[in-house]
Amino acid sequence: MSLVQVVALGGVGEIGKNCTVVEQDDDIVVIDCGLSFPNEEMLGIDIVVPDFTYLVENKERIRGVFITHAHEDHVGGLPYLLNQINVPVYASELTMALMSNKLEEKIPVKQLDLRTFKPGDVIPAGKLTVETIRITHSIPETCCMAVSTKHGHIFFTADFKFDFTPVDHKLTNITRIGEIGQEGVLCLLSDSTNVDRPGWGPSESLVADGLKKVFATAPGRVLLTTFASNIHRMQQFCEVAGEMGRKVAVVGRRMEQNLDICNRLGYIKIPKGVKINLDEMPQYADNQIAVLTTGSQGEPMSALVQMSKGTYGRLQIRQGDTLIYSARPIPGNEGAIWRTVNRLFRQGCNVVYQSADHIHVSGHAYQEELKMMVNLTRPYYIAPVHGEPRHQHLYNGIAKGMGYPDHRIFTMEAGIPLVFTETEAHVGAPVACGRVLVDSSGTPGVPDEVLRDRHNVANDGLVVITIAVDPEHGELVGDPILQAKGLHGPEGLVDQAFSFLTDALANLSPEDLRDTSIIKHEAQDAVRRFISKRSSLRPLVLTTIVEV
Amino acid sequence: MSLVQVVALGGVGEIGKNCTVVEQDDDIVVIDCGLSFPNEEMLGIDIVVPDFTYLVENKERIRGVFITHAHEDHVGGLPYLLNQINVPVYASELTMALMSNKLEEKIPVKQLDLRTFKPGDVIPAGKLTVETIRITHSIPETCCMAVSTKHGHIFFTADFKFDFTPVDHKLTNITRIGEIGQEGVLCLLSDSTNVDRPGWGPSESLVADGLKKVFATAPGRVLLTTFASNIHRMQQFCEVAGEMGRKVAVVGRRMEQNLDICNRLGYIKIPKGVKINLDEMPQYADNQIAVLTTGSQGEPMSALVQMSKGTYGRLQIRQGDTLIYSARPIPGNEGAIWRTVNRLFRQGCNVVYQSADHIHVSGHAYQEELKMMVNLTRPYYIAPVHGEPRHQHLYNGIAKGMGYPDHRIFTMEAGIPLVFTETEAHVGAPVACGRVLVDSSGTPGVPDEVLRDRHNVANDGLVVITIAVDPEHGELVGDPILQAKGLHGPEGLVDQAFSFLTDALANLSPEDLRDTSIIKHEAQDAVRRFISKRSSLRPLVLTTIVEV
């Protein structure tokens, strides 16, 4: 019996760290290799990447990692995979350029096997092939991917929308997607992020009109913040600024880098004479100036956040400035974003963050677009990806509404393979899978215990007990020391805990005092019990026994 | 010269802890006394209340605290004020009943001077008077308040919307608001929370239609979660359930309490025979059951969150259940809410959280309603409250659009008085003001230092160094001890830090070793420097010197 297997190492039941493995006999292809951002419970964590154990164990069979587009949730895990195994990585020219830039910061790119494709290319991968098909999304050169197996195509939509007026005029190859549907799609893995939005999403090019309206009434400089990867948004801003007789300066390292790359490779067309350097700004009146800036997520070190605090040396916000917030808050960042916006208002900057006109549009398909994708690909099986369980379940409802019976719809879970035989599909045995937390030193693998301790201290503080003993004679040496940090609670709590500790130690017999583990246990226990009873706090208690 | 002064101790430049002081000569009235919820940077903090120093210092002059409505951001600070000073508190019957319930948990209500008013009452407060006027909001018996001073009325809108079809049919006394406008409003302090929403907000009674549509297609039980204070939402749910032939059970302590109070006092009308106890549910088929539940903010101990985890003994979620999410996520709770929703979907529950029909409406005025309030009150000065700076600034734009010149619009800041003379208004000298953090033991006054330490450990972990010395002879006793908690970083980091520490100590001279502060400083410094260089982490380093 000949099996085809699809297993997601991330990106199902969550939004982020997309990474899916397609297997057939001796061949494996991997679609995307992303990261995700920590939730509010992951204290001190910078990013989260998939557990790559399964790929490492099967590295001999991997024919390539195929990248659909250059967003972090599709490429950000690569350095952590390529640190463990060196396998070919395929991406379009632009995607490769944008991601190499970041890869280089972690790993020497020259050692890697990076291969560029053109949208439309069909790439052999052992006995599998991967066909790349242009599709529209919020970053240029996104490709959906059809992996042809002996049982039919496994079709990855990638992140997509059907935008008939994309800024670069490069249209989705709808016809080819339809042809692949006719050739036979075994399983569709579809973006489901926006499944809770009815209708059809607005085109990126509508944003130009929204921007124009803001420009038309802005008395002074106009700033715009968006994701540094939103190339078309930046292009539209430059075009509108140019039309309105303004020059555009760019602040923020990543934005400048991305614009340089796109400019060099021809993926952005900024009207001649519009772009200026930041230090040329004083040559122009305020109403001749426009500024592109990073910081749309309230990142503490970003240009925008520093400007909002008045600590950005190269540009000061002033009365009459207008900032266009042309992005979507990533969940968890709302607090930092609104604090930034509030500070900007306080400095006299008008922030346009909500508007009847489009100043931001989503890059993901709405309900009718999702249905159109099903219509084109006519898959036998359907599995929504790129969504939390709520998105997957709502998508399944749409599939049912299009006539799909339950047994042809799969709610994938990370690490649980979908196995296709010649006649049916079923769920296979789990493979190694999980999340790997990366701390701010960049070191992957922060264990749960570390998070638990951080939580503990973050919520209730910390008590450190130090006790010197002479174990030979079974006696305490001097008084114990009790220090509290990050602890509040009712008045006198720490002093009372100290009394309680000395009382508890006084009750120990000379035999007990010969056994440091008994001392440690009794001391810790006494302090924990007292504090919990008196204040219902449960601080982390650390005890050190010094034997002298 | 006779001054009238208005100073907010909270609730301006933020949403939460509303508390505003009106002063004239020997008399002070306080409008509302709320709490706010911590932002994500306030680790281990449960609630935030205003610093009441100014009220404590002026307690002799306080004629009363007047409560506009029973939401936590208007009453939740009361226990912390009344613990310090005993002053009369005025509230409507329902507001009093709802808040006494919570007050009682912290402070014996019998000791307090609680006074009930009826909407429409005019209450003398020294030479000031406070007139209470019925207005519509998302909780019954909300009152706006006109404080009559010698220079005219200070008009507090309270939280409001203009709802012409409120569920209890108790309409806003628009005429009286207009009359007060004619009598002369010196300053309007207006709700500004929804100033970024154009148009006129939908009426609460529209929610009934939204609910009906969900009920009509729900195959099994229908659950609804909302704020435990949203009495009218609960009433509508019961009415719709009754019409649809369903019985309603209620889970969640606070919701049950509030329903009992409202039922007893006649503020809710549940159709006869509709309400059942949870243990009567097995007598009915699933499609005859409806359930009201707490947990709309993803609170860990709430009934809904426990149900989503399958740990709520009294009710298990099952395939075919439908949950209506009839609330708004309070910023910061999104993560917990979506995790709950995802778990419910996984258990086979369909969660309706976004709908073309109204399953939730806001209790706050949209732009046109805010303008209507200005139109009615025709104030001389305007100051938006109940908003972050962004809301205040947008509101100011609306006031300008209605013809108000800049000098008649004030962007209030907490603790900065607005001073009114007979001929003008200006900003006065700051009064004591700030935020008081309450930790999970309920103890107010968590200092910034405690938060800093918690942050430090939460982000980068903790290192505890213990060194035993014989200061008399200037020598170390045994090896130092280095323990790390909540710390990750590159492999071998802790072992290397230990070597670095022993090396640093070995370099100390016998004289140095006689001085514990030198030892402490050198040890701490060495470990900090090493870890920061090797990993760029900056853990909290705690050093204990044991003298033996």
How near does any CA of chain B get to the CA of A534, in Å?
A: 9
Of A334, A258, A254, residue with least CA distance to A302 = A254
Q: How high is the pLDDT of residue A189?
A: 98
Mean pLDDT of A9-22: 97
B20 bridge partner residues: B8, B31
Residues of chain A neighbouring B473 (CB-CB closer than 8 A): none
Residues of chain A neighbouring B195 (CB-CB closer than 8 A): none
- State whether A331 and B335 contact (CB < 8 Å): yes
Q: How high is the pLDDT of residue B13?
A: 96
What is the pTM assigned to this prediction?
0.93
Q: How high is the pLDDT of residue B102?
A: 85
Q: CA dihedral defined by B205, B206, B208, B214, rounded to 10 degrees?
A: -160
Report DSSP letters for A247-288, one per residue. EEEEESHHHHHHHHHHHHHTS--PPTT-B--GGGGGGS-GGG
Which residue from A44, A389, A490 is facing B460, i.e. has the nearest CB?
A44
pLDDT tens readout for residues A465-513? 999 999 889 899 999 999 999 999 999 999 999 999 999 999 999 999 9
In angstroms, rounded to a whole number, what is the distance separating the alpha carbons of residues B144 and B156? 6
pLDDT tens readout for residues A370-429? 999 999 999 999 999 999 999 999 999 999 999 999 999 999 999 999 999 999 999 999
- State whether A353 and B390 contact (CB < 8 Å): yes
CB pairs under 8 A between A and B: 201
Which residue from A447, A464, A488 is facing B544, i.e. has the nearest CB?
A464
∠ Cα B358 B299 B452 (to 5°) = 120
Average pLDDT of every residue of chain A: 96
How near does any CA of chain B get to the CA of A470, in Å?
A: 10
How near does any CA of chain A get to the CA of B41, in Å?
A: 9
CB of A363 within 8 A of CB of A337? no
Q: Which residues have a Cβ under 8 Å from the Cβ of B82 and sit 6 or more positions away? A: B89, B103, B107, B112
ipTM of the complex: 0.91
User: Is B232 designated active site?
Assistant: no
- State whether A439 and B350 contact (CB < 8 Å): no
Residues of chain B neighbouring A335 (CB-CB closer than 8 A): 39-41, 331-332
User: Is A364 designated active site?
Assistant: yes
Checking DSSP bridges between strand A322-325 and strand A350-352, what pairing results, if any? Answer: parallel
Report DSSP letters for A375-420, one per residue. HHH--SEEEEESB-HHHHHHHHHHHHHTT--GGGB----TT--EEE
For tokens 């992996």, what's the residue? A147
Which tokens in the block code for residue A449?
Answer: 């215990």
Q: How high is the pLDDT of residue B215?
A: 97
**Tell me, what DSSP letter sits at residue A76?**
T
Q: How high is the pLDDT of residue A2?
A: 75
A1 pLDDT more than 60:
no
Q: How high is the pLDDT of residue B1?
A: 56
Selected catalytic residue, list A191, A386, A391, A460: A191
Q: How high is the pLDDT of residue A355?
A: 84
Which chain A residue shows the shortest CA-CA distance from B537?
A441
Q: Which residues have a Cβ under 8 Å from the Cβ of B98 and sit 6 or more positions away? A: B70, B229, B258, B261
For tokens 């677009």, what's the residue? A369
pLDDT tens readout for residues A197-251? 999 999 999 999 999 999 999 999 999 999 999 999 999 999 999 999 999 999 9
CB of A339 within 8 A of CB of A179? no
CB of B4 within 8 A of CB of B186? yes
Which chain A residue shows the shortest CA-CA distance from B194?
A354
Which tokens in the block code for residue B408?
Answer: 């008649």
Which tokens in the block code for residue A530?
Answer: 């007292």
How near does any CA of chain B get to the CA of A201, in Å?
A: 16
Of A102 and B217, the one with more pLDDT:
B217
In angstroms, rounded to a whole number, what is the distance separating the alpha carbons of residues B91 and B94? 8
CB of A287 within 8 A of CB of A216? no
Kindly give the confidence (pLDDT) of every residue in chain B, 548 residues in length, as a single tens digit, with 9 standing for 90 and above. 578 999 999 999 999 999 999 999 999 999 999 999 999 899 999 999 999 999 999 999 999 999 999 999 999 999 999 999 999 999 999 999 999 988 988 899 899 999 999 999 999 999 999 999 999 999 999 999 999 999 999 999 999 999 999 999 999 999 999 999 999 999 999 999 999 999 999 999 999 999 999 999 999 999 999 999 999 999 999 999 999 999 999 999 999 999 999 999 999 999 999 999 999 999 999 999 999 999 999 999 999 999 999 999 999 999 999 999 999 998 889 999 999 999 999 999 999 998 888 999 999 999 999 999 999 999 999 999 999 999 999 999 999 999 999 999 999 999 999 999 999 999 999 999 999 999 988 999 999 999 999 999 999 999 999 999 998 898 999 999 999 999 999 999 999 999 999 999 999 999 999 999 999 999 999 999 999 999 999 999 999 999 98
CB of B286 within 8 A of CB of B316? no
Q: Radius of gyration of chain B from Cα atoms?
A: 28
A80 pLDDT more than 90:
yes
Which residue from B343, B450, B542 is facing A487, i.e. has the nearest CB?
B450
Selected catalytic residue, list B191, B232, B360, B460: B191
